[in-house]
Structure 1
């Protein structure tokens, strides 16, 4: 392996160190490589096979789980960040772009914007690598479209040669039959595999099938969204959630709720996104209105919260205040909800979907757990039970989450190991600031509470109480997934401590 691929990002006594964005996961691999091409990745995987050394890839490090942990060869995908362009080996209707797996979501958005296109969904932030986001099941909040994985139509994967496990090989993986993307008889590229089970295993597999070099994503022509944020009481929002009327005629809906009563109320924010195909407004005036006038109103509603959001160093004051005066938390979260009220924000789709780094939860980590939705809305009983449980923990132990509960609603998927496999789900997000009292304990308690009710944690968030027995019971296609994985990961070099816990390998 050429030394040009080695990257010493941070060293201690000469050893390369990688850490995630919150510095809660640190890895000291044997080799730390940064490929710049498909051939580079192929050589690195071949080295892993030849030396029987585990191989894992990382992106921006936004994962809080132990999924990125690499004891052997760590592949940093930062330089695999190109938008290759329109995918030409298909005659299917739609807009298809090939993108390298290390490109950050904000880089992808900017490149697509220049070409006049926009992704159909994304998470609330945009600094993740696209492969990291998709492979761990990242989502927005849409019962119409689903998670980011639904954009994927084709994958270039570097893995074992299926005929000779001593060699590395590159494959293009797609769905089969009429759902296959590549249908040009003059196709040139990696060997093509069109198989539903293999595709549905590869899309969300947290690196256990090999190293994802690129995707072909289906995107939309540039569109515009109107965002409205309404503040009300939980008791008035709950019936609309239960009968589903809150979702009528909206592209997406996102809910934040203060789980702690303040002045006898659980204040709730509902965010609505509505679709506009074209722009018929003066965007300069729209930016001025949103960037100045609405920001000024947010300061007037919650001066202290906005200061913390705008100036990160003041967050230490908020942490001190929470730890010293825990009864302050319900008021703090109330102002966090109230300050976000906004009559309208109008912009390009990806700019509206981006929630921004000004939220206090961005200086936190969390578990995010999917609860199956049902037509009767009984899943909301779990949400209310969690709110009661959090209230009990606050009263008895003075431990808190430090951001409103986030409720996101995702359409079901065929992908085998995505939490929304086979059913619509409500994700419950429970952020806690990194340095508040009882942070680890309360996140652990929340996980155990929700898992006891059959929920499924997000793979990229904290999920340390998931084990292989629980995964088997909650994912009906687990055995099919494992048959595919064992075929592609013939020597086991793509397993790690995370996969040993959740897959038994």
Structure 2
């Protein structure tokens, strides 16, 4: 009888989901006025009548239904009625935006490259694919992870020698994540996705005091303590999600990460990618040793003055001698190459500081921005921000004037070690159900700009609704608990490939002025129908000694302004925001910027510009430049 009742309940849940999705699709195609109500119904159904496994099954079913071209054409024809040509929906197959583009080692035809947004592209003379690893079969070759890829190292050296003999320049590419032309090259491109063979605990040549873990001072939640950290060696072309997989096999985890895991680890480090948490630095701050190949095909292992490598062990090794790898242990040199923006040579391998695998508990609470701002400023700002291990704020650029008591809304996200929190029994193992469901649907990214373009005047209200859906804490929803990388990841799925952003750093006290600038520019643009289609974020990051890190000056508040590809007016609006933020002293992000860069701008933003430039001439030289880099050097 019990099994029969369970079977009946399961059938009822399936019928409920079918009915709600049918009504939603009907609203999308025939009656958009009912769309908000249908979305509410879907959110409620996914929350109370659908398990994680069932949601994934429904994503697959919907993707199967909308895959045939004729189905997409039916949806297109209905949605594009009365739309201007530049806002028409084109539901072509989305494979090109849903995976990291790879290149074959000996591809016989001419090739093209572009960043994932598509605003920068090139047709290089040749794309090289060195390395003994495998992007597509990464886990299948896990038995080889303990080996160092000396064969790949020699391949890289040969490529550089060939380029210099031909008088060509080189840029290395990972995931093409940057919005700037930082990786663009019309000469030679080195695709690094097979430079991912080495994934191992760092033991070879390591000083005894670092071999089995070492104590580090931390300050989370305003409590100073010590944690035991470890060293892990990874190849430079490894994607962040691949590194997470390799670490997990050894019971280890990254100390922090950005919101996405698709980047190559060396690309993320080269642009000072970061997460949130004033007690946690950006990714380059986790690097303890970097092996790179620079101009003249010279290989270097670069570390701080008191580095982790035992010089005697290293220099006595036959392989090191055979491949002529020079050990440099010097703070000035290390700080210069740490954030090399692809111009110090090709980063071949890294040793990074990691910690034992851990869980995080996340809470997201809706605030009125002015109330939260006053709370942050009433005492010591640093202490308030450091009350949690991770602290970040999402702010609606607009005030929804249709509210009874209009005010600017924001969402405060905090995360702490789960073991240090009273995690309620109802805490979920997945973030917002609706966003995780929609982000898996293949056509969702193409449909998003249509929704915003057709209802641009409602964006202030839609943004508030989005923040409300994300609210999830101990007293409402239970919060979100899981292993660290799942909590730190944005979980945007397919939608990640349809968003873009600009980002800037400010000293933490000055960030409030920057918020006022952003909201002012957004308010002015409303009169012309130009809107940002997403909230912007404040993330607080610890100082980093890397000369070209955005956090080099001090602890910083990184402000990321986000929108959706295809929403009319947002590119122009974001350029105006960028210009005004630079006027008040913003430090631009190497990969997230729309305006042209200049030497003068970089000199103002990065105090150690001359030191970095001096080392670039030594390690990368002309070989590792492109027009973007030349523009900031000359």
Q: Note whether the superposition's TM-score is higher than 0.5.
A: yes
Deviations 1:162-219 (A, max 9, x none): xxxxx3111101111x3x1112521233210111111111111111110000100010
Q: Does 2:148 correspond to 1:47?
A: no
Alignment match of 1:274 (pick from 396, 410, 416): 416
Moved more, 358-367 or 407-416: 358-367
Change (3 A) 1:281 1:435: closer
SS in 2 for 1:82: coil
Deviation at 1:428, TM superposition (A): 1.1
Q: List gaps (5 residues or longer) in structure 1.
A: 161-166, 300-304
**C-alpha contact 1:372 1:423 (8 A) present in aligned 2:** yes
1:195 maps to which residue? Answer: 330
Higher relative contact order (CA 8 A, sep 6+): 1
Query: Residues of 2 paired with 1:241 and 1:213: CA distance?
Result: 43
The residue correspondences of 1:304-323 to structure 2 (distance < 5 A) are: 308-323=438-453
Deviations 1:372-406 (A, max 9, x none): 22xxx343122122212211111x22111111011
Deviation at 1:295, TM superposition (A): 4.3
2:4 maps to which residue? Answer: none
The residue correspondences of 1:177-188 to structure 2 (distance < 5 A) are: 178=306, 180-183=307-310, 185-187=312-314, 188=317
The residue correspondences of 1:308-387 to structure 2 (distance < 5 A) are: 308-343=438-473, 344-358=479-493, 362-373=497-508, 377-387=509-519
**C-alpha contact 2:521 2:576 (8 A) present in aligned 1:** no
The residue correspondences of 1:199-210 to structure 2 (distance < 5 A) are: 199-210=334-345
**C-alpha contact 2:361 2:423 (8 A) present in aligned 1:** no
- Which TM-score applies when normalising by structure 2? 0.71
Query: Residues of 2 paired with 1:227 and 1:280: CA distance?
Result: 12
Deviations 1:128-185 (A, max 9, x none): 000111101100012102101111010110012xxxxxx3111101111x3x111252
1:174 maps to which residue? Answer: 303
1:302 maps to which residue? Answer: none
1:465 maps to which residue? Answer: 596
Query: Residues of 2 paired with 1:143 and 1:153: CA distance?
Result: 20
Alignment match of 1:25 (pick from 83, 103, 120): 120
2:292 maps to which residue? Answer: 157
Alignment match of 2:569 (pick from 428, 438, 441): 438
Query: Residues of 1 paired with 2:194 and 2:202: CA distance?
Result: 21
The residue correspondences of 1:89-104 to structure 2 (distance < 5 A) are: 89-90=205-206, 91=208, 92=210, 93=214, 94-104=229-239
Change (3 A) 1:453 1:360: farther
Change (3 A) 1:361 1:338: farther
SS in 1 for 2:412: strand
SS in 2 for 1:173: strand
**Residues matched between the structures, number:** 472
Q: Does 2:547 correspond to 1:416?
A: yes
Q: Does 2:258 correspond to 1:123?
A: yes
Deviation at 1:432, TM superposition (A): 1.7
Q: Does 2:380 correspond to 1:250?
A: no
Query: Residues of 2 paired with 1:448 and 1:340: CA distance?
Result: 31
2:176 maps to which residue? Answer: 61
Deviations 1:229-264 (A, max 9, x none): 111211221123334253243101011011100121
Q: List gaps (5 residues or longer) in structure 2.
A: 1-102, 132-151, 215-228, 474-478
**C-alpha contact 1:367 1:461 (8 A) present in aligned 2:** yes
**C-alpha contact 1:159 1:170 (8 A) present in aligned 2:** yes
1:477 maps to which residue? Answer: 608
2:560 maps to which residue? Answer: 429
Higher helix share: 2
Query: Residues of 1 paired with 2:436 and 2:618: CA distance?
Result: 52
Query: Residues of 2 paired with 1:379 and 1:427: CA distance?
Result: 8
Alignment match of 1:82 (pick from 161, 176, 197): 197
Query: Residues of 2 paired with 1:446 and 1:378: CA distance?
Result: 16
Change (3 A) 1:40 1:438: same
Query: Residues of 2 paired with 1:278 and 1:248: CA distance?
Result: 15
